[in-house]
Amino acid sequence: MKKRMMALVSMALAGAMILPMAAMAGETEAAAAAADEGKVLNIEVWNEEFKSRITDHYPGYEKTDDTHGKIGDVTVNWIITPNDDNAYQNNLDTVLPGNADASADDKVDMFLIEADYAKKYIDADANVAMPLKDLGITSDDLSKQYKYTQDVVTDANGDLRGTSWQACSAGLIYNRAAAKEVLGTDDPAEVQKAVADWDTYNETAKKMADAGYLMQSTVNDTYRVYSNNVSGPWVQDGKVVIDDNIKKWVDDSKAQVDAKETTTAELWSDDWSKGFYPEGKVFCYFGPAWLINFSMKADDEKSIAAQGGWGLVNGPQGFFWGGTWICAAQGTDNPSLVKDIMLKMTTDDDIMKEIAQKDSDCVNNKEVLKALASDDSGSNKVLGGQNPYQMLADGAEKVDMSNISIYDQGCNEEFQKAMKNYFDGNASYDDALAQFKSAIVEKYPELTTD
């Protein structure tokens, strides 16, 4: 009985759950099979970003109401569960494992994930996200994507189980006025020299502090840069390992906080964003295109962004921030439609160019970024007319995400939280580290820390 079930499931993997005949005929039959596919396409998301991309850019999508749409005669159903309190992941954890047995209209067909916890859902053993090759998507289809965006969703067997339309490579965004005042120039090439590696970065931080500027708003700004450049994953053989580059972040940050060159504020707090205004006196932020375009208060005339007062350089190390990956849920009854959405949204040059121009996403397409880099339409008002695309494209090539693990979200969050105590002078490094370790064992009981 069990064996027969397994056989059935593997047939489903082949992309033809209803008609074994179609599976034998091969993937070319996808369009014909579509007629026999489910009439409801359920998509699990935590916000409205992907919904608006589909509404605006997917050919043939018709919006019926705020959480429903139609593609042909298939009803698209958006299931939004907010991220708060881990609710989104809890929801996925409940619905995905039993998805193959759910009734046709309740089956999840697609779900979205973020890099921090991507490995959990693309895990080969968990097998809740379909390998793209089972959908009939080949590596040729994805050849224009950046490698790091594929590393994030590659399982232990080397199979891709997701795809993204965004490449959120990021850089150091500096305050031009501060650069002129302290460094004597706001030319990106010159500024890059002052932040080329962490040692020169720390030297510059001293100069900035002497002039009354915070080097960066908070230690949490630089964390992502250090943690994206580690030499090994957080967990090795079931044991938590503090990477040298993470330790370097701790030492550099402690020195900076003690010298009042930065603070320990939380990202997105008012204390963090005060540097978006001239009187906030912050030299730089670290972020990708979306931070520049949407988060730096460009709509407020008093902000630095509104006056085009920012500049972009690569900074000490390459990194990325954000991005959304699309997965096909194992057990979907709309495999060919899911395949088509994935291909159109993450590989189609025209659609991706449209997305880049209309939504200012830094798209996951080397050709489109190249075109934008050499095009005046790529120049950015917030950056005082600088065209960031060449830099972002170069950055995306350099990002290395091969050390990502299923424990990244928990480890990164808990490590930053624990170290804040050390920076604030409420604990020694060892005590803060001990607290990090106990927090990790609470989150992941299977890990050891000593």
Partner 1 sequence: MANHSSGKKGKGSSVHARRAVAYIVLILISFLCLFWFYVLFINASRSNSELGRGFTVLPGKYLGKNFYNLFHSSLPVVRGMVNSLIVAALSALLSTYFSTMTAYAIHAYRFAGRKAIFTFILGIMMIPTQVTALGFVKLVQSMKLEDNFIPLVIPTIAAPMTFFYLKQYMDSNLPGELLEAARIDGAGELRIFNTVALPLMKPAIAVQAIFAFVTSWNNYFTPSLILHKDKVKTLPILIAQLRAADWLKFDMGQVYAMIAFSIFPVIIVYLILSKNIVGGLAAGAVKG
Partner 2 sequence: MKKKKSVVTRYNRWGYIFLIPFAVVFVTFQLIPLCTTIYNSFFENYMSGLRKVGPNFIGLKNYAKLLTEGDLGKYFCNTMIMWILGFVPQIILSLLLSAWFTNPQLRLKGQRFFKTVIYLPNLIMAAAFSMLFFTLFSKGGPVNSILVAVGVFKEPYDFMAHIGSVRGLVGFMNCLMWFGNTTILLMAGMMGIPDSLYEAAEVDGATPGQIFWKVTMPLLKPIFVYVLVTSLIGGLQMFDVPQILTNGSGDPMRTSMTLIMYLNKHLFSKNFGMAGALSVLLLILTGFLSAIVFQVTAKDEVQ
C-alpha to C-alpha distance for 239 and 78, rounded to whole angstroms: 39
- Residue 125 near partner 2 by CB under 8 A: yes
- Residue 190 near partner 1 by CB under 8 A: no
Residues from 266 through 295 that contact partner 1 (CB under 8 A): 270, 273-274, 276-277, 290-291, 294-295
Q: Count CB neighbours of 383 within 10 A.
A: 21
Nearest Cα to 225, choosing from 422, 398, 446? 398
Residues from 270 through 299 that contact partner 2 (CB under 8 A): 270-271, 274
- Burial label, 390 (beta-carbon count in 10 A; 0-12, 13-18, 19+): middle
Nearest Cα to 174, choosing from 206, 219, 221? 221
Rounded least distance, CB 257 to partner 2, Å: 11
Rounded least distance, CB 446 to partner 2, Å: 5
Residues from 69 through 88 that contact partner 1 (CB under 8 A): 79-85, 87
Q: Which does 193 bind (CB under 5 to 8 A by kind): partner 1, partner 2, none?
A: none
Contacts of 277 (CB under 8 A, 6+ apart): 297, 302, 303, 304
Rounded least distance, CB 97 to partner 2, Å: 7
Here's the x/- map for partner 2, 90-109, by CB under 8 A: it reads as ---x--xx------------
Q: Which residue has the tokens 């730089």?
A: 284
Q: Which is nearer to partner 1, 51 or 344 (CB)?
A: 51
Rounded least distance, CB 202 to partner 1, Å: 28
Contact 245, 230 (CB under 8 A): yes
Q: Which is nearer to partner 1, 232 or 268 (CB)?
A: 268
Amino acid in position 29: E
Element (H, E) at 157: none
State the number of CA atoms in the 13 A half-sphere of 179 facing the CB.
23
Rounded least distance, CB 276 to partner 1, Å: 7
Contact 48, 15 (CB under 8 A): no
Task: For residue 448, list its beta bridge partners.
Answer: 239
Cα angle 403, 409, 414; round to 5: 115
Contacts of 405 (CB under 8 A, 6+ apart): 119, 233, 234, 235
Residues from 342 through 371 that contact partner 1 (CB under 8 A): 359
The footprint of partner 2 (CB under 8 A) covers 86, 93, 96-97, 119-121, 123, 125-126, 128, 263-266, 269-271, 274, 406, 417, 420-421, 424, 426-427, 431-432, 435, 438-439, 442-446
The footprint of partner 1 (CB under 8 A) covers 46-49, 51-52, 66-67, 79-85, 87, 90-91, 94, 270, 273-274, 276-277, 290-291, 294-295, 297, 299-300, 302-303, 322, 359
